[in-house]
Amino acid sequence: MDYYLNLINTIGIHTLLGLSAYLLILTGQVSMAQAGFFGIGAYTAAILTVIFEWSILSAIGAAMLVSGGVAFLVGFPALRVRGLMLVVATIAFSEFARMFFYNLKWRVVRDGAEIGPDGTMGFAEIRYFNDNGWLNWEVTIFLWVFVAVVMALIWWSDKTRIGAVLRAVGEDELAADSTGINVTVVKIAAMTAGGVVAGLAGSLYAHQVTDLDHHTFTVLLATFAIAYPILGGLSNVFGTLIAVLFIQGLLVEGLRFLGDWRMLLFGALIILAMNIKPLGLFDNQTIRILRNALGVKRRSGSV
Amino acid sequence: MEDFWYEFVEVTQTISDGLLFGSTYALIGVGFTLIFGAMGKLNMAYAAAALGGAYAGLAGFVLIKAPLVLVFGISAVAAAVLGYAIYFACFRFIPINNHLAALMASVGGLFFIDEVVVHVTRGSPLTFPSMFGDVFFEIGPYGIRGDLIFVFVIGLISTGILLYILFKTRLGLATRAVAQQDVAARLCGIGVHSTNSVTFAIAGVLGGIAGAMTAAAVGVLSPVMTVPLTIKGIIVAVIGGLGSIPGAIIAGLFVGGFENVFLYFRGIDERDMYVVALLFLFLVFRPNGLFGTAITRD
Amino acid sequence: MLEIKTLSKHFGGVKAVDNLDLQVERGEIMGLIGPNGSGKSTLVNLVCGVLKPTSGEVIFEGNPMAGQVPCARLRHGIARTFQNIRLFGGLTVWQNLWVARNSTEDIRSQNILRRWLGSGTTLKREIETMLEFSNLADKADVLASNLAFGEQRRLELARAVAAKPRLLLLDEPAAGMNQAEVAELEQRIRSLREQGITILLVEHVMQLVMGVTDRITVLNFGSKIAEGSPNDIQENTAVQEAYLGHSD
């Protein structure tokens, strides 16, 4: 049972991660910085609950603010680089964040034991849920409430002018600019929002695994983050969720019996997917076909 | 005064060692920049292919006691083959303006090659033979490691051959034509796919040599080297200006020296942070790198 | 209303626009013609802020536009259409107009939440009116990329008008149209003028230029070679030479 709860938690956290990248890719910014924001959220929330003994909600809130703030700052230099160069720059940022946490040492003695991030040894003993008597299924529900809220928010904003403006910027910046959309504001806002969501994911992650290691926050994680919205397509948030279910559920866990060979399969599957359906698994056509088949009518002003 | 002189010697020694080692970064950077110049795309699997080639070379050494020159040769050829395979799997069939899908596919390639290597070697690092490891020149207060000189010289020769191919042969001409105007090149009868696959193969040769060089200089070959090498290669290509070969060379040497200086002053844990920060500075203030052409591709 | 003073744009050695002086009066329809490569599109880009001038000034309603990006100029009241249509293909017709209503006075005076939602019956009615005007009312939910060519052109125009500009720059709006479509476009441009919009029309299609403009400026090699009423321009020998060459 615990095994499955763990899996469901991981799916939830990765969905948040994917959604944070989704917002950015809508505006045409392919960002590998989500791993960095994830890590910042994780360490901030963990430090707050472990060293400063904050409650979980305030810690998560603060972590979201911090990672959002960093994302806001990253947003400005990100404006100056386009396309692949942005990928490179954001990889650099995530790596920088990872190395920063690799070197972070902040040990505090409490009740006779040392706690806190310990540089290269990682950050263990993030025991908030345990210490406060949370049952495993309670953690899962808690986590998924956040996921549901974020998904709902993004789904809703897609139906308002926000969604259309984001996509307009992603489609054609020059036309957007000439049509009166302040591209700078939109892109930085997207980056900030992405940072907030990734920070949320990180803070939940830290408390779920109770043990942070810099190896988690690598380019691999950042790749997962953008893989979900790309594979799932950009039409709506459910594409991302399905992509997470597919990748995490099937490949990583369900194929565990393949043992060490699953990464091999993962790599091969990505290559295959990109060759066969470069637009993602749920591109516009698929959605439109599904809609027609199910007889869903669209009102003016909705996607 | 004595102390200052001592520091000075130490630092310049560090810089020169770094410069020599930087020739490996230069080659990897050239490989990335070649592919970006030819196709406008970033091949994330490049360094993995390079190290894969180095592993093949090591296998040659271990299995048939190949002399070092042959080891380098095997590395080059193996990496070229891997390079071609990556082109075929990750770039050939993806629509030409879908940079993202190609990038993702090459990331998949990176994972794939990495895993294969991990399986075959069971994850443990292997020693790589180095040439002239015990040779050591002394010039005044400076000591120059023979193996670093060897590595540097190989780098020079490889670059020379590459430039010869690019600028003095028909193949090179075709490559440059495709890089600049692929539609026009096709109209002139130049096969874009065959030219691009050759570009990948040439880049692969460089990569294999670079991988073997890195392993020879460090003395060890291990799968954990893949991601850092990928990142450093990209950093070098970007700082040098994507698409510019002389830029990549100079940037490679520069990053090598720079990195070593930080190793000396701040230790290995913080060293990479500064390299990455350097990239950031360049991207913000000089996104075209040192010699890059204006990047209008998205 | 629009003043262009000694405006120049050099691309390396090429003088795309060369020391150009031009005035457009409020309420008029000014035509801008010239052979290919004479700098017309560059001029449009300079006025709209897509390109920065090498020297000279663009002044709109007395305000210098130097350093203002396109979306800022839109707020001042300058809108444009693109020669090669740049619609948001992945958005529907409705959404294309919806986002264009981003920066008009009445929208910006609303509070943030209402702006983001983009809802409200006034807005809805306004967009519906614009769709009627452009004969696109029944296509509101169609993706812009799925429209026929003529419909795309109409949407391109509608989108520029949606921003409630006071000056509208049209970059070859009649390209690829048949005679009937050009006549329709002529009607539409006239009614835009009746709504109080000043128009700068860059065009090759003479039927449209001669039919709808009050004054015409002729460019060649980046500078002005003639200016006057449509009749004057038709008689002007310099203009004929620019288009047809000498007969020696």
Average pLDDT, chain B: 81
User: How far off is chain A from B65, nearest CA to CA, in Å?
Assistant: 30
Residue A212: beta bridge partners?
A123
Q: Is residue B291 part of a domain?
A: no
Q: Where are the alpha helices (DSSP H) in chain A?
A: 2-26, 34-50, 56-79, 83-102, 128-131, 136-159, 161-171, 173-178, 183-209, 219-232, 237-244, 262-276, 284-294
Give pLDDT, residue A253: 64
Q: Is residue A299 part of a domain?
A: no
Is A153 near chain C, with CB under 8 Å?
no
CA of residue A207 relative to chain centroid, distance: 16
For the residues B171-184, what does the mean pLDDT come to? 74
Residue B147 burial (CB count, 10 A): 21
What are A117-173's pLDDT values in tens digits?
A: 777 777 777 777 777 777 888 888 989 999 999 999 999 888 888 888 898 888 888
Nearest CA in chain C to A158: C117
Give pLDDT, residue A199: 95
Short-list C1, C11, C22, CA closest to C224: C22
Q: Is residue A301 part of a domain?
A: no
pLDDT at residue A286 greater than cutoff 60:
no
Give pLDDT, residue A190: 94
What are B3-52's pLDDT values in tens digits?
A: 777 788 888 888 888 887 888 888 889 888 888 877 878 888 998 999 89
User: How far off is chain A from C100, nearest CA to CA, in Å?
Assistant: 5
pLDDT at residue A301 greater than cutoff 50:
no
Short-list A90, A35, A44, CA closest to A218: A35
Q: How confident is the model at residue A87 (pLDDT cuts 50, 70, 90)?
A: confident
B287 contacts A80? CB cut-off 8 A: yes
When divided into structural domains, chain B yields a total of 1
Q: For C2-244, which CATH superfamily applies?
A: P-loop containing nucleotide triphosphate hydrolases (3.40.50.300)
Nearest CA in chain B to A233: B101
Give pLDDT, residue B195: 82
Is A180 near chain C, with CB under 8 Å?
yes
C74 contacts A164? CB cut-off 8 A: no
Chain B, window 189-228: residues with a beta carbon less than 8 angstroms from a chain A beta carbon: 227
* Assigned token pair, B64: 């048939």
When divided into structural domains, chain A yields a total of 1
A175 contacts C88? CB cut-off 8 A: yes
Sequence ranges of the domains in chain C: 2-244
Q: Which residue bears the tokens 């970033």?
A: B42
For the residues C228-234, what does the mean pLDDT come to? 83
Count of CB pairs separated by less than 8 Å, A with B:
128
Is A281 near chain B, with CB under 8 Å?
no
For the residues C15-43, what does the mean pLDDT come to? 86
Cα gap A252→A261, rounded to integer Å: 10
Short-list A33, A32, A58, CA closest to A44: A58
Q: Which CATH number does the domain housing residue A107 bear?
A: 1.10.3470
What are B105-153's pLDDT values in tens digits?
A: 888 888 888 888 888 887 778 887 776 666 677 777 677 777 777 778 8
pLDDT at residue C23 greater than cutoff 60:
yes
* Assigned token pair, B198: 């050759």
Q: How confident is the model at residue C22 (pLDDT cuts 50, 70, 90)?
A: confident
- Parallel, antiparallel, or unpaired: how do β-strands C167-171 and C78-80 relate? parallel
Helices B226-240, A83-102: axis angle to 10 degrees equals 130
Q: What are phi and psi of C57, to 5 degrees?
A: -135, 150
Q: Under 8 Å CB-to-CB from B41, ≥6 apart: which residues?
A: A84, B35, B91, B99, B102, B103, B106
Cα gap B56→B50, rounded to integer Å: 10
C71, containing H or E segment: helix C70-76
pTM for the whole structure: 0.82
A99 contacts B108? CB cut-off 8 A: no
User: How far off is chain A from B208, nearest CA to CA, in Å?
Assistant: 22
Give a three-class secondary structure readout of B171-239. HHHHHHHHHHCHHHHHHCCCCHHHHHHHHHHHHHHHHHHHHHHHHHHHCEECHHHHHHHHHHHHHHHHH
Q: Report helix, strand or coil for C136.
A: coil
Question: In A, which residues are within 8 Å of C93 by CB distance?
Answer: none
Q: Which CATH number does the domain housing residue B59 bear?
A: 1.10.3470
Q: Is residue B298 part of a domain?
A: no
A125-134, A294-303, B264-273, C66-75: range with lowest mean pLDDT? A294-303
* Chain C partners (3+ C-beta pairs within 8 A): A
Domain hosting B73: range is 2-285
Question: In B, which residues are within 8 Å of A260 by CB distance?
Answer: 115, 118-119
Residue length, chain C?
Answer: 248
CA angle B115, B85, B128 (to 5 degrees): 50
Is B231 near chain A, with CB under 8 Å?
yes
Is A161 near chain C, with CB under 8 Å?
yes
